[in-house]
């Protein structure tokens, strides 16, 4: 089955800096890669996603890149703000719509002002 | 749009009792729902995939007789933790596939504490 590795496990940056979180996946058939932000005690919130027919997607300060050949994808946050502090999870799922997401172990991002 | 609710938000029960958790898609029909368990400072671990009108598919290591899942309608799935033990204490989160079938929308989670 699918296995998703995520790095780093913790990331501390200064306000205004950029943050990059990287994930690799094992199943070459996976074609959907979302990123979730989870604040303590709350539900994961989808912040951006990408499908395998696209190499990059951007939404304001957040971008995701995908390298299908290398089977890795990354989350880029620019101009970080203290409210970006949270746990971020990457995930992957296989081709059939309605299949489960397999999550990485998460990255705790701390943005200090 | 794509709102998922979960009830209760937290529950405390005694060891040996059963607890039912409900997951509802409020503004869309969800053919497939998923149940995850999350321990403190850990990731979401898939427990089972629930399809409307059919038996749930459980992940390896998840006891289907202990974690009963019912998906009786396109908007409701329930998870019953039977004969709960303290080690079942966790954060249980459901999700539902959105209209495209790819995006998943999560419920707010249920904090279960077994004493």
- What is the structure's pLDDT at B54? 84
Mark yes or no for CB contact A32/B102 under 8 Å: yes
Question: Chain B: nearest CA to A52, how far in angstroms?
Answer: 12
Tens-digit pLDDT profile for residues B86-112: 999 999 999 998 777 778 899 999 999
pLDDT digits (tens, 9 = 90+) for B44-75: 999 999 988 888 999 999 999 999 999 888 89
Distance CA B95, CA A3 (A): 20
| pLDDT for residue A94 is more than 90 | no
> Please, which residues 58-77 of chain A have a Cβ atom closer than 8 Å to chain B?
none
Residues ≥6 apart with Cβ < 8 Å to A104: A4, A5, A6, A23, A89, A90, A91, B43
C-alpha distance from A15 to closest chain B C-alpha (Å): 24
Residue A25 C-beta-side C-alpha neighbours within 13 Å? 27
Interface contact flag, A101 B34, Cβ < 8 Å: yes
Instruction: Judge contact between B97 and B30, C-beta under 8 A.
Output: yes
- Work out the mean pLDDT of chain A and round it to a whole number: 93
What pLDDT score does A98 carry? 64
């Amino acid at each position: 089955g699918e296995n998703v590795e995520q790095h780093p496990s913790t990331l501390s940056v200064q306000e205004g800096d950029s943050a990059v979180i990287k994930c690799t996946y094992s199943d070459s058939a996976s074609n959907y890669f979302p990123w979730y932000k989870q604040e303590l005690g709350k539900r994961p919130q989808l912040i951006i996603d990408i499908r395998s027919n696209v190499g990059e997607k951007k939404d304001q300060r957040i971008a995701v890149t995908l390298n299908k050949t290398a089977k890795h994808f990354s989350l880029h946050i620019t101009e970080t703000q203290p409210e970006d502090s949270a746990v971020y999870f990457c995930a992957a799922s296989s081709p059939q719509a309605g299949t489960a997401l397999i999550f990485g172990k998460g990255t705790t991002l701390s943005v200090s002002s | 749009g794509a709102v998922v609710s979960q009830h209760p938000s937290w529950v405390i029960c005694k060891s040996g009792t059963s607890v039912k958790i409900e997951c509802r898609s409020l503004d869309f029909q969800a053919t497939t729902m998923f149940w995850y368990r999350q321990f403190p400072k850990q990731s979401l671990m898939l427990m089972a995939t629930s399809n409307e009108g059919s038996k749930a598919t459980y992940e390896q290591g998840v006891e289907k007789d202990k974690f009963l899942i019912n998906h009786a309608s396109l908007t409701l799935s329930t998870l019953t933790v039977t004969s709960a033990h303290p080690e079942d204490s966790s954060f249980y989160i459901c999700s539902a596939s959105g209209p495209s079938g790819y995006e998943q929308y999560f419920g707010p989670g249920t904090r279960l504490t077994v004493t």
